[in-house]
Structure 1
Amino acid sequence: MSVGLIFIIFAIGMAVSVPIGVVLGLLAVLPNLFDPTFPANAQLVLRSMLGGVDSFPILALPMFILSGIIMARGGVSKKLFDVFSFFIGNKTAGLPIAVIVTCLFYGAISGSGPATTAAVGSMTIPILVSLGYDKVFSTALVAVAGGLGVIIPPSIPFILYGMTSGASVGKLFIGGVLPGLLIGACLMVYAYYYCRTRGEDKEKLQAHYHAIKSQGFLKVFKDSFWALLTPVIILGSIYSGVASPTEAATISVVYSLVISLFAYKTMKFKDIIPVFKESIATYAPLLFILAAAVAFARVLTLMQAPQQVAAAITSVFTTKLSVLIVINVLLLFVGMVMDTGPAILILTPILVPIVTAVGVDPVHFGIVMVVNLAIGFVTPPVGINLFVGSSLTGVPVVEIAKKAMPFIYAFLIALVAITFIPEITLLLTR
């Protein structure tokens, strides 16, 4: 069975909406069914699946998912938004920019794009609409800014990439800081331009700003202190070497529970079991996809797919610049039709040897890869952040996608800089 036929079957499975975990599992055993001499029999595939998820770094995934859900239930995003609004709420585009900054901070808590969109959007979109901002614009803003959740560390896709490529997860986390800030800055520039040209309801904005300002800085800071401390504890423990990413994920669960139960009292003990059930329901499908993708990657390796794809690309594109351009285009397309996790698990073993052969640092490429796929959160047909935003506001996905296009262009500008200026990624890792 040829590698080309494998990918054709994969594309057909995706086109007819077969669950991706099922497609990957079937494709892992298919070559042996066609050719019994092929070494990847059912037993090997099963061992690969079990061995692939029996990994200490992978434990960080359910922990970050759980802590993100706890923070969402605990209303942490509201605390963050209030403190940023206190400082810039009276400026042009102040509140949209405060939303982007809130997504940056919340991304450093949840590690998930959809979780960031849901937690921040459920709280900020009604506020923006009540203050005169267009509902579609507000929804698009949160949907795109929610993509920062997978770039600002800790990031679930970074963990998956590190596990698959062998790159240091800690370095990926550190390297993601400046790219995340750059993307956030690009989004803020467009938000400012939009509000400057379209105008804002200054009367409503001033009333909202004075309502927050009247509370006084000490009260606003006191209310938001534990929320602001969350990324400091999580990232500080990783960067200082006190804890590994997996250990930091466990710390984040304990910390989020403590502040939600005792500091903010926004959760009760009876809410813990439903939160755990929700996290299990969220992680279980990802775990099966993860296991199937590991087995599928193992089969592709035995079929020498990475070498064949590398030979096909390098036979046409020979320079570092051309290879990066082609891979960026490929990843942007993949992000449109495939979720981030499976895309990383499938493509990393294929693409990493290609980029390292032309002199690209694996950590740099990992961040380029995740930024590309993050754009897929807001591009149809998959565009999960679009669907999250639509579920929050009732705005059709197509309308959100249209309004999101200028934000996506801003994202792409940052992507070009991140791709071709490696120091943006690697400066803090050295």
Structure 2
Amino acid sequence: MEKASWKHRWMTLRKAVWGGILPILILGSIYSGAATPTESSIIASAYAIVVSLFVYKETSLKLWHKIFRETIGVTAMIMLIIASAMLFSLYLTQEQIPQQLATAMLSMPSLNVVLFFVLTAVLFLVLGTFLESSSIILITLPLLMPIMLSLDVNPIHFAVVMIVNMEIAQVTPPVGLNLFVISGITKEKLGTVFYGAVPFTIVMALCMIIIMIWPGLALWLPDTLFGKS
């Protein structure tokens, strides 16, 4: 392509500002406490509609039928996956399978902090291939909390490690919710999306290991803001 002039770059930058405001609006409203993640998504959707119609003028009212139809299709797919995962979660809970796994893994006599983190990471990764993240948290956290406190593990440190675990669970089949979302939006095969996510999954796993080894990475900011945890 022909090299862009500085004038063209500045014009493009000014045009991109409207799109750049969107992630700031989403994250800013959540982290400031002004809105919940669900409310933030509504605000962001309304903002995106206004900008696309009146600023970028990329859409028109004639396209709304197609837009709504595609949105309903992707949303229905996601809701069906979540409903199936919750149903499977109910079955596992009734059969006490996660509880048995957690009890078996964490009742080891030689359990220490390092082994605790390794075993819980394995437990979350295994459950994450079948269950939705909120189900995993609701099922396992009441079992892990007493053991975590008895080992003097910082709750914030454990929460950060658990969140990274849940992020990995979102991109691991067969119930990797983010994989289905991207597949539905891009119309790509699920296998193609999964292979594309593999490098990022490896990086997240490495980040999780680093956070396990150096708790200060997870605790520095809350300790700075609120004092020692």
Instruction: Give me the TM-score of the superposition, normalised by structure 2.
Output: 0.70
Stretch moving more, 291-300 or 247-256: 291-300
Name the residue aligned to 2:159: 363
Q: Which secondary structure does the structure 2 equivalent of 1:376 belong to?
A: coil
- Cα distance, 1:241 vs structure 2: 2.1
Name the residue aligned to 1:231: 23
1:349 aligns with 2:145: no
Name the residue aligned to 1:308: 100
Name the residue aligned to 2:8: 215
| 1:11-41 Cα distance to aligned partner (Å, 9 max, x none) | xxxxxxxxxxxxxxxxxxxxxxxxxxxxxxx
CA 1:410–1:306 in 2, change beyond 3 Å: closer, same or farther?
A: closer
Distance 1:290 1:393 in 2: 20
Q: Which secondary structure does the structure 2 equivalent of 1:211 belong to?
A: coil
Distance 2:208 2:37 in 1: 25
Does the 8 Å CA contact 1:260/1:267 hold for their aligned counterparts?
yes
Distance 1:253 1:404 in 2: 26
RMSD: 3.8
Name the residue aligned to 2:207: 414
Q: Identity, % of aligned pairs?
A: 28
CA 1:411–1:240 in 2, change beyond 3 Å: closer, same or farther?
A: closer
Distance 1:287 1:414 in 2: 30
| 1:398-428 Cα distance to aligned partner (Å, 9 max, x none) | 9x94x97666544432221234434434554
Equivalent AA in structure 2 for residue 371 of structure 1: E
Does the 8 Å CA contact 1:296/1:346 hold for their aligned counterparts?
no
Structure 1 unaligned residues grouped into runs of 5+: 1-206
CA 1:408–1:281 in 2, change beyond 3 Å: closer, same or farther?
A: closer
CA 1:408–1:236 in 2, change beyond 3 Å: closer, same or farther?
A: closer
- Cα distance, 1:223 vs structure 2: 1.0
Does the 8 Å CA contact 1:306/1:351 hold for their aligned counterparts?
yes
Q: Which secondary structure does the structure 1 equivalent of 2:33 belong to?
A: coil
Structure 2 unaligned residues grouped into runs of 5+: none
- Cα distance, 1:258 vs structure 2: 0.6
Given candidates 106, 112, 117, the residue that maps to 1:319 is 112
Does the 8 Å CA contact 1:238/1:248 hold for their aligned counterparts?
yes
| 1:304-353 Cα distance to aligned partner (Å, 9 max, x none) | 44432221111236223212212323444555x55xxx432443233323
CA 1:331–1:255 in 2, change beyond 3 Å: closer, same or farther?
A: same
The alignment of Structure 1 onto Structure 2 pairs a total of residues equal to: 210
Given candidates 300, 323, 329, the residue that maps to 2:122 is 329
Does the 8 Å CA contact 1:309/1:350 hold for their aligned counterparts?
no
CA 1:381–1:247 in 2, change beyond 3 Å: closer, same or farther?
A: closer
CA 1:241–1:350 in 2, change beyond 3 Å: closer, same or farther?
A: closer
Equivalent AA in structure 2 for residue 343 of structure 1: E
Alignment of 1:23-422 (within 5 A): 210-211=3-4, 213-216=6-9, 218-316=10-108, 318-332=111-125, 337-338=129-130, 342-357=131-146, 358-359=148-149, 361=155, 363-374=159-170, 376=172, 384=179, 388=183, 397=192, 401=195, 408-422=201-215
* Structure having greater relative contact order (Cα 8 Å, sep ≥ 6): 1
Does the 8 Å CA contact 1:306/1:349 hold for their aligned counterparts?
no
- Cα distance, 1:292 vs structure 2: 4.4
- Cα distance, 1:288 vs structure 2: 3.3
